[in-house]
A and B are shown apart, each in its own frame.
Chain A
Amino acid sequence: MMKQQELNKGDNNVNTTTTEPTATEMKKDSAYVVNNLNLWYGEDQALIDVNLDIKKNEVTAIIGPSGCGKSTFIKTLNRMVELVPSVRTNGEILYHGRNIFDRGYRVEDLRTSVGMVFQQPNPFPKSVYDNVAYGPRTHGIKNKKVLDEIVERSLRGAAIWDEVKDRLNENAYGLSGGQQQRLCIARTLAIEPDVILMDEPTSALDPISTLKVEELVQELKEQYSIIIVTHNMQQAARVSDKTAFFLNGEVVEFDVTDKIFSNPSDKRTEDYISGRFG
C-alpha cells in the first residue's frame, strides 16, 4: 500500500516537493497548493494526507465513490467545512500563496474570491435581481448603476440572461431547477471570484439542464479556475482538464483527465472508472 502510494507520487507528480513550498516558491500558475491535508469529523478521519496542486484556469474534476471525502475536500477549500462543529484539520492549503488556515486569515476574504455552487440549487427567496445583487451588496456596493451592470454581466456569464431578463423582479423560486442552478452560478460570478467550487452541481438537474451547465463550465474556465466534484464519470471526462480520484479519504491518482480515463496508473482507479465498484 505504502509502496504503491510512493509509486503514484513518482509517476504522476502529485506532489514531488519534499521541502515545504513557501509563498515565494509557489508556482505562479497554481490556484491552490494542498500540502499534507488531514481532516477529522470528531474521531473519524475523512481526509488522509491529501496533496494536490490545482492549476489556474483549468477545470479540475474530483471523482470517487460516495463517502470518499470529495465533498469534504471541496468544502475545505473555502473553509465551509468548518460549519460542522466537530471538524479538525491539519496540514496546509495555500491559496494565492497564503495558508488559508492561518490565524489571521479571514474566511470572509477567502469566500469573496472563491465562489461556491452547491449540490441543490439554493437561491434566496428573493427576486432574481436581488439574488445576484446579494454578494455585491454584502460587500458594500450600493450604486444602482454598478449593481445593474454586475447583475446583467453575471446573468449573461451564467448563460441565463435571455431567459430571465424580463422577470428580474420575480421571485427566483418560480424558475425551474436548471435555471435556479444557473442563477446560483450567476450569483457566484457576481462576487467576481478567481476560483469557482462546484459540489455536484448537476446531480439534481435533468439531462438538458446538465448539458447547459457543462457547456457553461467550459466557457467559464477561460476566466476562472474551476474545481468540480462529480459523481458522473462521463461528466468528469467531458468537462475537466485534470482529474483527481479520491478513495477512502486519500487521493489515489491525480493526472490529466485523458490519461486517467484511458490509461490510469493505479489499479483502483481503473476499477472505479470501468465501473467495477462505486
Chain B
Amino acid sequence: MALPNSEFKNRKNLMNRETVSQQIKRRLRLNEFFKYVFLAGLVFALLVLSTLIYDVISKGGGWVDLDFLRNFPSRRPEDAGLYPALIGSLWLMLLIVPMVFIIGVGAAIYLEEYAPKNRMTSFIEVNISNLAGVPSIVFGLLGLTIFVRVMELGNSIMAGALTLGLMSLPIVIVASQESLRAVKMELRHASLALGASKWQTTFNVVLPSALPGIITGIILAVSRAIGETAPLIMVGAATFISTTPSSVLSDFTALPIQIYNWTSRPQAEFQNLAAAGIIVLMTMLITMNSVAIYIRNKYTNRH
C-alpha cells in the first residue's frame, strides 16, 4: 500500500522561498496599513460622539438643576422644566419592559426550543428579523390605527407603551433567540437524560444560561424605544400637559417629545433647554446601558 507520504520522497519545491519572502513583506505592510484604517474608524466615531456631547453640555449644562427636573414646562424658559416628560418616560419604561419580556422571550423560547425546524418556522424567523428593520414611524401609524382608534385607548400612556413595545419586540425576540441558541446542546442533553421534561430543562438550565444575553437585548431595545419620537407623535403624545399622568389611560408626554417641542421654538433659550433635556435623556439611557453591562458581566463571570 502506497503511503500518502511517498509523493514527498523526491520532493521538488513548487514554492520559491525568495518570492514568498518578498510577498510576506508586502503582506505585512498591508497588515500595518489596515491597522491604521481601523484605528481611524474608531477615532472618527469617538470624535463625533465627543463633539456632540461637548455641544450639548456646553449649551444645556447650566440649565440642568433640580428645578428643571421638578418644574412643568412654561412659556418662560427660566421656569420651564420637564417633570411630566420625565414621569411619562418612566411610565413608558415600566410598561414596556414586562410586556416585551413576557411576549418576546416567550416567542423566542417557542421558536428555539419547541417549534419544529421547517420552512414555516424559518419563514416566521425571517419576517421577525425584517420587522426589526421597519421604520419606527410605521409602528406609529399602526399604533394610531389599532391602539388609539380601534381599541379606543386614546392618546394614552398605554397606547404609547403598546406601540413602542411592539416596535421593540422583534429586536427582543431576535436577541433572545440568539442567546438561547448559544446555550450548549450538551447542557440540554444532560438535563433531558436525567429525566427532566422539556419545560424543566428550558426553565432550569437553558434560561439561566441565556438570561444575561436576553436582559442585555431587552435593555438595549427598551433604551431605543425610550429615545423614539416619531411613533409617539403618531399616537398623539401631548406636547404640553399641566398634570402628571394618574393612570395608564392618562394623556402623557415623554422626554423626546418635550425635547422636540423645545427645539422647534424660535427663542435661543429654548434651544438650550432642549440641550438640557438631551442631557437628562442621555443620562437615563447611559444608566440603563450600564445596568445591562453590569448584569451581563455579573452572570457571565459566574458561568
Contacts and interface: CB of A to CB of B under 8 A. Distances in A.
B195 A138 contact: yes
Contacts of A109: 195
B193 A116 contact: yes
A80 B192 contact: yes
Nearest to B116: A85
Interface stretch (A120-128, A210-218, A228-236, A247-255): A120-128
A108 B197 contact: yes
A111 B117 contact: no
B302 A171 contact: yes
Interface string B168-210: 0000000000000000101101111111110010001100110
B192 A118 contact: no
A2 interface: no
B117 A85 contact: yes
A118 B194 CA distance: 12
A100 to B, nearest CB: 13
A263 B187 CA distance: 41
Contacts of A47: none
Contacts of A124: 187, 190-191, 205
B303 interface: yes
B193 A78 contact: yes
Interface residues of B, number: 21
A184 B189 CA distance: 12
Interface string A132-174: 0011001100000000000000000000000000000001010
B184 A122 contact: yes
Given A122-B184, A122-B186, A173-B303, A134 B192 contact: no
Contacts of A56: none
Contact of B194 (A120, A173, A191): A191
A83 interface: yes
| Most interface-central of B117, B189, B190 (chain A CB within 10 A) | B190
A80 B189 contact: yes
A138 B303 contact: no
A78 B184 CA distance: 20
B194 A188 contact: yes
B209 A125 contact: yes
Contacts of B303: 125, 171, 173
Contacts of A115: 193-194
Nearest to B194: A135
B292 to A, nearest CB: 20
Contacts of A171: 302-303
A187 interface: yes
Interface in B204-263: 204-205, 208-209
Contacts of A257: none
Contacts of A123: 190
A112 B200 CA distance: 14
A134 B204 contact: yes
A125 B195 contact: no
Contact of B195 (A120, A139, A184): A139
A138 B204 contact: yes
A62 to B, nearest CB: 17
B214 to A, nearest CB: 15
A80 B191 CA distance: 11
Nearest to A110: B195
Interface in B284-303: 302-303
Given A85-B117, A124-B205, A171-B302, A108 B196 contact: yes
B193 A80 contact: yes
Contact of B186 (A111, A120, A139, A188): A120
| Most interface-central of A78, A118, A125 (chain B CB within 10 A) | A125
Contacts of A122: 184, 186-187, 189-190
A40 B209 CA distance: 33
A184 B190 contact: yes
A112 B195 contact: yes
A187 B194 CA distance: 8
A187 B196 CA distance: 13
A111 B204 contact: no
A135 B116 contact: no
Interface string A93-117: 0000000000000001111100110
Given A115-B194, A118-B190, 12 more contacts: A85-B116, A108-B196, A110-B195, A111-B193, A111-B194, A118-B193, A120-B186, A125-B208, A134-B194, A138-B191, A171-B303, A191-B194
A-B CB proximity, top 7 nearest: A112-B195, A122-B186, A125-B303, A116-B193, A111-B195, A135-B194, A138-B196
10 contacts: A80-B193, A85-B117, A111-B193, A112-B195, A118-B189, A122-B187, A125-B208, A138-B204, A173-B303, A188-B194
Interface of A: 78, 80, 83, 85, 108-112, 115-116, 118, 120, 122-125, 134-135, 138-139, 171, 173, 184, 187-188, 191
